[in-house]
Structure 1
């Protein structure tokens, strides 16, 4: 196993400055189009939901408007559910799983919840299939006041605009092989630290909040997703991506401390999903279905608890 790696941009041990960030940006390329693959699917839902533009990315405001899919007839007596996808734009099933939930399942839950879906928080990242934004900033480490990531700032503003607190937040992500082949090496180079190779788990898992783990809620999500795809096992040290496995398929992170999207609300029930799309055992559509199953498991659990 390779345990060190020299990234082609920057000098080992030195943090990137503006020149290195520019060099990194200039080597990115557009690989797919948000306006063709995502926006039409959102627009097609306008008969069933209110489609709200909650911002636009300054990199190109016409190309990168930000949309939320919201329940019609908002009712302040109902609890609110937030579903987010595409915070890391390269994590494809987060985007299309969120939209598929809106297309196929969300209306079953609107009698009980106000639902808000932000399916593609980072559309530039979606197009270049990258974890960062054009400034080499990770939106999913940037959910805090004064954030340098406008993707994060726009979603924070959307959450702040909601009439009441969010009860449930499901943030849809993927863990991919490219995390180790590209994104973690780039992170180490950007921050001037040594890259130590990690292990990508084969399967789905969730990340709960260290400060509010809600283990029964996480278990319900795992049970639901297990009907669609396989759950990631712990490694030989009882860990997944370096964190202790607290139960089958579940680890915890301190969401707010790390500036994660999972900490953007003060929800009682929160989870970050992690689908593994590079497994030989799954198709792209099964990855989307796993994201939908995670949402269903979460909402069914909360309905049962509040019935």
Structure 2
């Protein structure tokens, strides 16, 4: 892939509010947050305390923000945060968080307090977008006075309730639309030229370079490898243009970049990436890989 031109804006010139509005005007609703996510959350009310931690002012009735919280919450147990749908278009992150809640969460309730926020960006989910309506990337916006209400809402909930998790697993995907849409759009918005077109074929993790927790990441990779294939590095031993730290793992400076996995002081953090467009993977396999990533992480913490 070498084409950087995007149909909005002038190459080399960052977008103004006019181009951002043009981009927003082109977005359409393609699926239902209420039907796909909220309905599943409602089904889980016998097993979790469901809390609304906010609503997006784009449409507060359409986009309430929910999380699932362990019913048997105890202050002396470590807390684990699971987030999905920070990038709303990354479907298996949303459905993987929900599947874990439905099938595995109760078996970990004795050891952990669990908070599961399955769909951080419901507008992005409905329009199948990486950004929010203001062309802001929520997963670069986890910092004080965030420009993304999606990011600000979950940060405020954790802060206001004085919740300090031991672990945070953030569920993501990499898809072919990264190259056909999102990387070109980002370059156009910034007035730059995109030079990285690598899309890893398989599952990989992004760890925090400040606290990489090598063995923790290894345990997740080993668990997920029983469900789906781990992405091989490219000819430069890189994934998405970043040096591979170990098989299937790269490191990012999470807090510096405003990433979701970096907004708490959790010791164990990771961002998952699956590839649903792989010729050897299915949507169901990607959901199960997300579940395996969570259980692999929790099993490691229990053992250590």
Unaligned runs of 5+ in 1: none
In 2, Cα distance between the equivalents of 1:161 and 1:249? 35
Residue 199 of structure 2 corresponds to: 200
Partner deviation per Cα, 1:162-189 (whole Å, 9 max, x = no partner): 3441101000000111111100100000
Report the Cα distance in structure 2 between the residues aligned to 1:292 and 1:105, rounded to whole angstroms: 8
Partner of 2:144: 145
User: How many matched pairs?
Assistant: 304
Alpha-carbon shift at residue 197 of structure 1 (Å): 4.5
**Paired position in structure 2 for 1:117:** 116
Distance in 2, Cα, partners of 1:165 & 1:130: 30
Contact 1:3 1:197 in 2 (8 A): no
Rounded Cα–Cα distance in structure 2 between residues aligned with 1:197 and 1:265: 29
Please give the alpha-carbon distance, in whole angstroms, between the structure 1 residues aligned to 2:92 and 2:156: 24
Q: Equivalent residue of 2:234, what SS?
A: coil
Could you say which residue in structure 2 is the equivalent of 1:76? 75
Point out the more displaced range, 219-228 or 280-289.
280-289
Q: 1:246 is paired with a residue of what secondary structure?
A: strand
TM-score by length of 2: 0.99
Residues 1:231 and 2:230 are matched in the alignment: yes
TM-score, with length taken from structure 1: 0.98
* Contact 1:202–1:276 (Cα < 8 Å) also in 2: yes
Structure-2 residue corresponding to 1:304? 303
Alignment of 1:251-266 (within 5 A): 251-266=250-265
Partner of 1:247: 246
The yes-or-no answer on 1:130 pairing with 2:129 is yes
Distance in 2, matches of 1:9 and 1:100, equals 38
Matched, 1:157 2:162: no
Moved beyond 6 Å, runs of 4+: none
Distance 1:228 1:67 in 2: 29
Instruction: Please state how far the C-alpha of 1:196 moved relative to its aligned partner.
Output: 2.4
**Partner of 2:12 in structure 1?**
13
Kept in 1, the 8 Å contact 2:72–2:109? The answer is: no
Task: Give CA deviations for 1:120-151 in whole Å, capped at 9, x if unaligned.
Answer: 00000000000000000000000000111000
Give yes or no for contact 1:4–1:196 (8 Å, CA) kept in 2.
Answer: no
1:171 aligned partner: 170
The alignment's C-alpha RMSD in Å is 0.8
Distance 1:103 1:277 in 2: 22
Unaligned runs of 5+ in 2: none
| Mapped contact 2:196–2:241 kept (Cα < 8 A) | no
